[in-house]
Amino acid sequence: MIYLTFPTCLSKSGDFDIEEMMMKLTKSIMLMLAAGLMLPALANAAPTITFEGEVSAQTCEAEVNGQENATVLLPTVPESSLASAGAKAGLTPFTIAVKGCATAGVDTQIGTKFLGHSVTAGGNLGNVAVTSPAGNVAIQLTSDAAGTTPVILNGVTTVAGLELKARETTANHQFGAQYIAEGGAATAGAVTAVVEYTLSYQ
């Protein structure tokens, strides 16, 4: 809201000075406009950083296909296999395993937390290939090697599957990754997708 004030002023001689009054009025309006412009900036909340982690009595070393940081190679597929939105191809299993776990007297359910880069509106990993990227293609994660249950990524997404049996120190579970057409028929090109992972002990 902008308020206008109409000050009265007198000259040194005591007479009404219209020119001096207009100068003061102009300055008053300018000050109030400036104050009004500052208010929205003060009202906007500052950007935030959220830190997430976990403290647990159980800790294990995690690896994907035998490596801490792994590259999962999907097969080359023809455009025709991804000719319409929602079409899937090239299902490839990958294994997340844990080792060096502390032994426990009961079974321990271990959740795998995924945090995708460039996640699409469909909850899949967007194509971040820099050179000659394929069009309308994403990578969909699945919670099993058969590809029956897709993982819909939304921020940090926890997926069940890993189970550390009582008195065991290792465990593993197979997930899946596959191409999926999003937004229409796929066009030929390179596909690269990235996801971070960590473990949650339940």
- The superfamily in CATH containing domain 61-201 is Fimbrial-type adhesion domain (2.60.40.1090)
Confidence of residue 4 (pLDDT cuts 50, 70, 90): very low
How would you label 113-133 residue by residue, b for 16+ Cβ within 10 Å and e otherwise?
bbebeebbebbbbbbeeeeee
Question: Is the pLDDT at 38 greater than 60, yes or no?
Answer: no
pLDDT digits 0-9 by tens, 110-169: 999 999 999 999 999 999 999 999 999 999 999 999 999 999 999 999 999 999 999 999
Q: Is the pLDDT of residue 59 over 50?
A: yes
SS3 helix, strand, coil % of the chain, rounded to 5?
Answer: 15, 35, 50
Q: For the chain, what is the mean pLDDT? A: 82
Least confident of 29-43, 48-62, 63-77: 29-43
- Taking 50 as the threshold, does the pLDDT of residue 18 lie above it? no
pLDDT value at 187 more than 60: yes
- Of 167 and 30, which is predicted with more confidence? 167
Q: Where are the domains of the chain?
A: 1-48, 61-201
pLDDT at 184 exceeding the cut of 60: yes
The DSSP bridge partners found for residue 63 are 97
* Res 118: pLDDT: 95
